[in-house]
Amino acid sequence: MDHTDSARLSLISMWVGFIAFLAAAIMGVYQVLERSGLIPAIESPALYFASVSTHGVLMGFVLTTFLVVGFGYYTATTSLKQPVWNKPLAWFGFYICITGVLMAAVPLLTGQASVLYTFYPPLKAHPAFYIGATLLVAGSWVWCLEMVMMMTIWKRAHPGDTVPLAMYGTTANAIMWFITSLGVTLEAIFQLIPWSLGLIDTVDVGLARTLFSWTLHAIVYFWLFPAYIAMYTLLPKAAGGKLFSDQMGRVAFIMLLVFSIPIGFHHLYMDPFQAAGWKFLHMIGTFMVAVPTLITGFTIIASLEVAGRLRGGKGLFGWIAALPWSNPMVTAAGLGLLMLTLGGFGGMINASYSMNAMVHNTQWVTGHFHLIFAGTTVIMYFAIAYYLWPKMTGRRLYSNTLALTQLWLWFIGMLVLTLPWHYLGIAGQPRRISSTPYDPVLVQQWDASELAMIVGGLILMISALMLVYVLARTHGNSQQEASLAVEYAEPLHPVLRIPPLLNGLAFWTVLVVVYMVASYGYPILQFFLMETHGTVPWSI
Amino acid sequence: MSQLTPEEEDEILKSAPRGTFALLLLLAVLLLAGWAYMFFFMFIENGPVS
């Protein structure tokens, strides 16, 4: 079937994401230079915090949302072999997102939303920032509806058939994102927007931070889902093998849907307004959510092992060398899994209730989330782009060599940037600072790490420029792509019959709602029951 | 690309991923050792908050 209708929407969405990404990468270089204090002429806390806020919004909200949406539409149409449901509505959602981004950009770029891309009062931004961000989320809900409708329509047309794994994961992500984004949306509509407009004098900070934590952790999985979907459904074929287990992929997606949302209190370990017992329960949930990642790690590496052995790899680890490392998808996945392991180690420390006190609000945390997000997730976004651009444009990738170089530079730059940040965090350097006006003897010990940070930032910016260059030049490549079909990996053991629970998401959606009520019900309700010392918990 | 006989290919597809098991076991040991090092030698060693 012809996928040109979804290709255009996907391509434009993903281009919006990558343009935001490039701007954010350039800002990142300014930030590491400013923060190092080596060039006094550029030191400006106001500019630094405006830049950090914009960098975070562009990377964490714009790149991700547009990439997830674009990849989702293309996955849906190519895996289900059916057109986009209600195409005008899909474009309407896209324009809502664009409107939201433009609206939020104005206060961000004029220093009126330097709230570090968070929704944590008492930091207050211009109302346009909160309204813009809410519109971005609302636009993405259209995509959620589209994905659910497309899977439902397909299931009705194919009774008893197994939903393709790529679409199963995409729909799980859409449902998860809708549920998790409700938290920050409620906070914005009932607290932040009325407060920033001056309709109310105060907000209950505890309630606001609790609502934001509802969104804050699972948003990471919203970003990560496309990376996992590509690893499960595109990587094994690109590596020359088969997917080790289709069912393991479904179990991992279900677990991400169920376990990733009700665990946000690990972001509030040091905050006083939730009791230790609730935080402990959320800590257990946090460690549970490592399970689908372990399942994914096992299934993907096993799939690569099959591919490597089919290519002649021998011995316990000989299959690794036999893999086609000249394929950007394989290289990105290999480097991404390495960064996931390192970032996962940092995550284990953050998630440990007691040890969190040692690294809380230090540069360690910045190092951790850059490794997981900017490392694993974003490098897989590159791989997705390198795979899909030829399919969507009909032109061959401009340069495979440049693409591979770009991926390796991203990996090297990310390690050079983030490993010193982990050290700095342990050494006591706070995060969210524009300079280090502390004890000179202490600060001097940080100099080498600060220099490494600059080198890492520069390498990453070069890599970002290379990505955009390769993608842009692909559009003008005179060589036609041989096959426009997206080749999804076949499972090692064909899926002949599958339990209904692994072929639908309704039961799991109900389960996550029950789990959410259990883990967030009373912690939110308490703000309406207790004395809040003059603050207004709910403004409307 | 290696030239495998159909029998060899079939054997690969049916065999357990022992390399993956070994790799993940190694990673698990490293992660647990790292966590234990952080807990006992960095966190506990800092002593109580004073």
Which positions in chain A touch B35 (Cβ < 8 Å)?
Answer: 345, 348-349, 352
Q: What is the rounded distance in angstroms from the CA atom of residue B5 to the CA atom of residue B13?
A: 13
Taking the CA of residue B50 and the nearest CA in chain A, the distance in Å comes to 14
> Which pair of tokens denotes residue A49?
């915090």
Q: Do B19 and A316 touch (CB under 8 A)?
A: yes
CA distance linking residue A522 with residue A137, whole number of Å: 26
Q: Smallest CA–CA separation between A240 and chain B, in Å?
A: 10
Q: Please give the pLDDT value at position A467.
A: 98
What whole-number distance in Å separates Cα of residue A173 and Cα of residue A151?
13
- Partner-chain contact A345 B17, CB within 8 Å: no
Angle of helix A506-529 relative to helix A165-187, nearest 10 degrees, comes to 10
The fold of A4-529 is Cytochrome C Oxidase; Chain A (1.20.210)
Residues with Cβ within 8 Å of A397's Cβ and at least 6 positions away in sequence, in order, are: A386, A389, A390, A403, A470, A474, A477
Percent of chain A's residues with pLDDT above 90: 85
Coil vs helix vs strand at A140: helix
What crossing angle do the helices spanning A64-80 and A4-36 adopt, rounded to 10°?
150
What pLDDT sits at residue A144?
A: 98
Which residue out of B11, B18, B23 would a mutagenesis test of the A interface target, given it has the greatest number of A Cβ atoms within 10 Å? Answer: B23
Position A286 pLDDT exceeds 50: yes
Mean pLDDT of A481-499: 92
Nearest Cα to Cα of residue A203 among A265, A285, A125: A125
Q: pLDDT (tens digit, 9 = 90+) per residue, A154-208?
A: 999 999 999 999 999 999 999 999 999 999 999 999 999 999 999 998 888 999 9
* Chain B contact for A317 (CB, 8 A cutoff): yes
Asked if A536 is an interface residue toward chain B (Cβ–Cβ < 8 A), one would say no
pLDDT tens profile A48-76:
999 999 999 999 999 999 999 999 999 99
Sort out which chain B residues have CB atoms less than 8 A from A294's CB and list them.
Answer: 24
**What's the confidence (pLDDT) of residue A80?**
96
Contacts of A244 in chain B (CB under 8 A): 17
Identity (one letter) of the amino acid at A475?
H
pLDDT at A38: 83
Measured in whole angstroms, the distance separating CA A372 from the mean position of its chain's CA atoms is 9
Judged by CB atoms closer than 8 Å, whether chains meet at B17 and A302 is answered as yes
Q: Determine the pLDDT at residue B1.
A: 55
A396: tokens are 């061959």
Residue contact B43–A242, C-beta within 8 A: no
Provide the number of CB pairs (under 8 Å) joining chain A to chain B.
63
Q: Measure A137 CA to nearest chain B CA, in Å.
A: 36
Cβ-defined contact of B2 to A426 (cutoff 8 Å): no
Q: How far is A432 from chain B (nearest CA, A)?
A: 23
- Cβ distance A316 to B9 less than 8 Å, yes or no, reads no
Burial label, A148 (beta-carbon count in 10 A; 0-12, 13-18, 19+)? middle
By the CB < 8 Å criterion, does B2 face chain A? yes
B-chain residues within 8 Å CB-CB of A312?
1-2, 4
A348 to chain B, any CB pair closer than 8 A? The answer is yes
Residue A213 Cα distances to A184, A187, A195, A268, B31, angstroms: 8, 10, 19, 8, 27
Which residues of A are part of the catalytic machinery? Answer: 217, 221, 368-370, 431-432
Question: With contacts defined as CB-CB under 8 Å, which chain B residues touch A298?
Answer: 20, 24
B14 touching A, CB under 8 A?
Answer: no
Which residues are paired to A153 by β-bridges?
none
Q: What share of chain A has pLDDT > 70, as a percent?
A: 97
* Euclidean distance between CA atoms A379 and A374, whole angstroms: 7
| pLDDT(A537) > 90 | no
Alpha carbon of A308: minimum distance to chain B alpha carbons (Å): 10
Name the maximum alpha-carbon separation found in chain A. Answer: 71
Whether B31 sits inside 8 A of A349 (CB atoms) is no
**For an interface test with A, which of B1, B12, B42 has the most A Cβ atoms less than 10 Å from its Cβ?**
B12
Give the closest-approach CA distance of B12 to chain A in angstroms.
7
Q: Which residues of A310-331 are buried (b: 16+ CB within 10 A; e: fewer)?
A: bbebeeeeebbebbeeebbbbb
Indicate yes or no: CB of B31 within 8 angstroms of CB of A344.
Answer: yes
Phi, psi of A85 (to 5 degrees): -70, 130
Distance CA A473, CA A397 (A): 8
CA distance A25 to A62: 13
Mean pLDDT of B7-28: 94
HEC string for A234-289: CHHHHCCCCECCHHHHHHHHHHHHHHCCCCHHHHCCCCCCCCHHHHHHHHHHHHHC
Given a cut of 80, whether residue A500 has pLDDT beyond it is yes
Determine if the peptide bond prior to A122 is cis (ω within 30°).
Answer: yes
Give the pLDDT band of residue A534 (cuts 50, 70, 90): low
A112 residue type, one letter: Q
Number of helices (H), then strands (E), belonging to chain B: the values are 2, 0
Look over chain A and give the mean of its residue pLDDT values, rounded to a whole number.
Answer: 94
Confidence of residue A387 (pLDDT cuts 50, 70, 90): very high
**Cα-trace Rg, chain A:** 23
User: How remote is the C-alpha of B40 from its chain's centroid?
Assistant: 22
Q: Which residues contact A25 (CB under 8 A, 6 or more apart)?
A: A460, A461, A463, A464, A465
The question of ipTM being above 0.85 is answered as yes
A301 with B24: Cβ contact below 8 A: yes
Q: Find the CB nearest B13 among A240, A358, A492.
A: A492
pLDDT class of A540 with cuts at 50, 70, 90:
very low
The verdict on pTM exceeding 0.90 is: yes
Residues 6+ apart with CB under 8 A from A18: A63, A67, A385, A467, A468, A471
Smallest CA-to-CA distance from A193 within A85, A283, A103 is with A103
Chain A residues lying within 8 Å of B12, measured CB to CB: 306, 309-310
Answer whether B31 sits within 8 Å of A492, measured CB to CB: no
Residue of A345, A360, A368, A371 for testing the chain B interface, max B β-carbons within 10 Å: A345
Among A387-396, A412-421, A439-448, where is mean pLDDT lowest?
Answer: A439-448
Q: Where are the alpha helices (DSSP H) in A37-84?
A: 45-57, 64-80
Above pLDDT 90, what percent of chain B? 64
